[in-house]
Amino acid sequence: MNAGRKSENWPTRRTFLRAAAAFGATVHALPAASAETIDDSARRIALAKSAALAMQRRDWEQGILAQAMLEAGDRPAVIQLTRAAMVQQTEDGRMGVVVSGGVTDPAMGGAAYAQAAKWTGEPAMKAAVDALLEWIRVKAPRAADGTLSHVFGPVEMWSDGLSGAPPFLAAMGLYDEALAQIEGYKKRLWNPEKRLLAHIWDEKTGSLKDAAFWGGGNGWAAAGLARVWRSLPASRTADRDRIAAFARELTDGCLAHWRPDGLFHDVIDKPGTFVETNLAQMLAFAIYEGLRAGWLPVSYRERADRLRAAARGKMDAEGFVRGACGAPNFDRPGISTEAQAFAIMMEAAGARA
């Protein structure tokens, strides 16, 4: 199908604008995206979605794909993905668990699942989301200060956890709890000199288990912070300012290691690690959200556009994003559901901005 042709089932500019309004977005004086640009985004979203739905998925993968469909304004897909996650709900409330993974991974889809429950009005769907929220708030293992562990067994905090519980809690109106989780992760993982997050903290030893600045983890965090900001009421000015400042510092810390080709190394400050695609998508999403909300200046638009162009260049004819930190072990370049999801989120955010 030609890039300029639109199908009735593809997102349109109006779809993106309606979706933006549903997210409570504030419109700022930014250049409007052209109809041609939005049509290209819709084409790419359709390709990325098709490839993503062909992939086998674990709990966080199901969740972030549901969130991507929410970002793109694809209501039927959000509901379908939620319904499927309900089938794989554990007795303790975690949704989408095909094989047991991380403690907070199921929360990656919490906000999208909650929206699906509102749309359908189905008691069973609401009960499933409530059970997931109870898992996160009450049952999940955590440190003495309440910061959630990322894994079962040893209490550990991983950088990608900033995109798990905090956006879900904030979307549910539990702002103080979301902010407390962010602060708990930040005090353990944040390197103020590098302006980057280390990957893993070991609570038992009180030290970093993995001090590497993993690109994927920092990208997850940037995207999560942007989503938390979006959920905070306008009246919480100080909280919004604090989250925005953190997100901007993190974005700048990543961009300090930006390659000329618009991408990053898998470990951001280690040129010996492989060149990776998904961080560019994640940062582009966060920057576009910051531009639209007004917590990033318009000068960042050029950076987001360059990141987006670089990532677009890695999508193949079937819609797979190549060169991402690849599933299932995320230790080499490949493909992953999360890279597909962030391709969709990047395009949706770019079209709204």
pLDDT at res. 255: 98
* 95 and 229 part of one domain: no
If one counts the domains in the chain, the total is 2
The verdict on whether omega for the bond into residue 233 sits within 30 degrees of 0, i.e. cis, is no
* 198 and 75 part of one domain: no
DSSP string, 172-214: TT-HHHHHHHHHHHHHHHEETTTTEE-SEEETTTTEEEE---B
pLDDT at res. 174: 98
pLDDT at res. 17: 39
* 134 and 198 part of one domain: no
Are the C-beta atoms of residues 308 and 315 closer than 8 Å to each other? no
Confirm whether 1 is domain-assigned.
no
* 126 and 249 part of one domain: no
pLDDT at res. 101: 82
pLDDT at res. 164: 97
pTM exceeding the 0.85 threshold for the entire prediction: yes
* 105 and 237 part of one domain: no
Confirm whether 270 is domain-assigned.
yes
Confirm whether 8 is domain-assigned.
no
pLDDT at res. 39: 85
Confirm whether 95 is domain-assigned.
yes
Boundary residue ending a domain (140, 155, 185): 140
Boundary residue ending a domain (123, 140, 157): 140
* 240 and 119 part of one domain: no
* 118 and 238 part of one domain: no
pLDDT at res. 329: 94
pLDDT at res. 33: 57
Confirm whether 23 is domain-assigned.
no
Confirm whether 31 is domain-assigned.
no
Q: First and final CA of the chain: distance in angstroms?
A: 26
* 136 and 194 part of one domain: no
Are the C-beta atoms of residues 284 and 344 closer than 8 Å to each other? no
Tell me the mean pLDDT per 10 residues along the chain, length 353. Answer: 33 41 37 63 94 95 98 97 97 94 95 98 98 98 98 97 98 98 98 98 98 98 98 98 98 98 98 98 98 97 98 97 96 97 98 92
* 224 and 287 part of one domain: yes
**Which residues make Cβ contacts (< 8 Å) with residue 17, sequence separation at least 6?**
352
Burial 159-168 (b: 16+ CB within 10 A, else e): bbbbbbbbbb
Question: Which residue, 199, 238, 245, is CA-closest to 220?
Answer: 199
* 76 and 181 part of one domain: no
Q: What is the CATH number of the domain that holds 307?
A: 1.50.10.10
Confirm whether 242 is domain-assigned.
yes
* 203 and 314 part of one domain: yes
* 86 and 130 part of one domain: yes
pLDDT at res. 252: 98
Full domain range(s) for residue 329: 169-353
321 has which bridge partners?
315
CA distance 289 to 106: 23
Confirm whether 254 is domain-assigned.
yes
**Which residues make Cβ contacts (< 8 Å) with residue 129, sequence separation at least 6?**
95, 110, 113, 114, 117
> Cα angle at 239 between 233 and 241, to 5 degrees?
105
pLDDT at res. 23: 40
- Tokens standing for 177? 């709890």
